[in-house]
């Protein structure tokens, strides 16, 4: 079973991701954190680290880039794969996140079908089958 940590504040996007994972029959458990300031304390207290972190950039309390920096600069968390899943398609955001250690940068789709397309990329990152940095822009 794949353990996913989804750090996302938009309930519609949370629902779309959960639906896409279910529709693709992904055997997983999802922990959702809706505020940026709760992410690192959660990781510090969890008994088993997630297989992958799906991280939005625009979060309340602490921006996603700060969370990414904290994860990748931590001896304990730096090896957890992080997929940036955000509405941004800005070159600056993409370059900044990949440079900071994100494994993948995916521009958030707006439909269930679009979310389904991102699921295989997320699973590849989580299972370590895709180790180089990449960006994906979906519709």
What would the mean pLDDT of 57-82 be, rounded to a whole number?
95
| CATH number of this structure's domain 2-137, picked from the four choices 3.40.50.720, 3.40.50.2300, 3.40.605.10, 3.40.800.10 | 3.40.50.2300
Task: Provide the β-strand partners of residue 105.
Answer: 84, 135
3-state secondary structure of 102: coil
Q: What is the pTM of this model?
A: 0.89
| Whole-number Cα distances in Å, 128 to 66, 87, 109, 125, 133 | 24, 24, 23, 5, 12
What is residue 132's DSSP assignment? S
pLDDT score recorded for residue 132: 47
Distance CA 128, CA 103 (A): 10
Write down the residue that tokens 């957890």 correspond to. Answer: 80
pLDDT score recorded for residue 108: 84
User: Is the pLDDT score of 139 beyond 80?
Assistant: no
């Amino acid at each position: 079973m794949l353990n996913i940590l989804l750090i996302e504040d938009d309930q519609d996007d949370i629902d779309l991701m959960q639906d896409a994972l279910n529709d693709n029959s992904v055997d997983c458990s999802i922990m959702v954190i809706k505020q940026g300031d709760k992410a690192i304390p959660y990781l510090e207290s969890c008994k088993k680290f997630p297989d992958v972190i799906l991280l939005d950039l625009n979060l309340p309390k602490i921006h996603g880039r700060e969370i990414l920096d904290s994860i990748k600069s931590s001896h304990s968390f730096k090896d957890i794969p992080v997929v940036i899943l955000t509405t941004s398609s800005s070159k600056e955001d993409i370059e900044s996140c990949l440079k900071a250690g994100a494994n993948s940068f995916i521009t958030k789709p707006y439909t269930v079908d679009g979310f389904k397309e991102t699921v295989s990329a997320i699973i590849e990152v989580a299972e370590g089958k895709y180790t180089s940095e990449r960006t994906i822009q979906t519709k």
